[in-house]
Amino acid sequence: MLGFPGGMPLTGINRRDAGTGILPGMTHRSQHLLAKACAALLLAAAPAFARDEPPPGECPQPRFTGKAPDEYYLRKNPLAPDTDLRQARRIYLGDGKKVACAECHGEKGDGRGPMSELFEPRPRNFACAKTVNDIPDGQLFWIIRFGSPRASMPAHPQLTDEQIWQIVLFLRTLAK
Ligand code: HEC
């Protein structure tokens, strides 16, 4: 989820109640100033909220991702370990036209892509062997295909099974 702590609902209330007067005895102008002061306070508080979240790229990384159904979870990567991974790397890094994996997961897979700060939970840190080596192939496959609804991990229905297995193999090369 994108994190805009607190800011949105306040704006909503003030818009809706502008003109009717939300606080008795206050002029419109002082209400307006009060709203501004509250908004400023909330903005100032935002970094404090952010500090409570684990930083992107933590290792080991807290992980609460939903578990794939067994028909996926138990699948092993059918590709040979020496499969050509150039296509997988290209998909992962992207061509700059669409949001690619690296935007969130980082070019090196360290979970620190340019967009990683925006998401809570944070994008998976594939460079973190402690976390990713315990995740089975079939689980990685399932999340790449269907996404993680609790997080901002998108589904990728356009990728073939073969492409996803190549990506899974590629992700394994990033772990240290
Ligand atoms: C918009 C940001 C974003 C993009 C783009 C993105 N991801 Fe993710 N990804 C996430 C987030 C956030 C999570 C954490 C999900 C969670 O905690 O449930 C995640 C988690 C994962 C996981 C972890 C699965 C698990 O069980 O732990 C895999 C694998 C993954 N992404 C692969 C990819 C691949 C491959 C691509 C590109 C084809 C991609 N992601 C693109 C944000 C993104």
Question: pLDDT tens digits for 64-117?
Answer: 999 999 999 999 999 999 999 999 999 999 998 899 999 999 999 999 999 999
Cα of 111 vs centre of ligand 1, distance in Å, is: 9
Q: Which residues line ligand 1 (CB under 6 A)?
A: 63, 65, 91, 99, 101, 103-105, 115, 119, 121, 123-124, 135, 139-140, 143-144, 148, 150-154, 156, 167
Separation between Cα atoms, residue 26 and residue 24, nearest integer Å: 6
Separation between Cα atoms, residue 153 and residue 64, nearest integer Å: 13
- Judge if pTM exceeds 0.95: no
Pseudo-torsion of CA 79, 145, 74, 172, nearest 10°? 50
| Ligand 1 atom 14 nearest Cα | 123
Cα of 143 vs centre of ligand 1, distance in Å, is: 7
Residue labelled with tokens 């998108």: 154
In the chain, the amino acid numbered 63 is: R
Question: pLDDT tens digits for 137-155?
Answer: 999 999 999 999 888 999 9
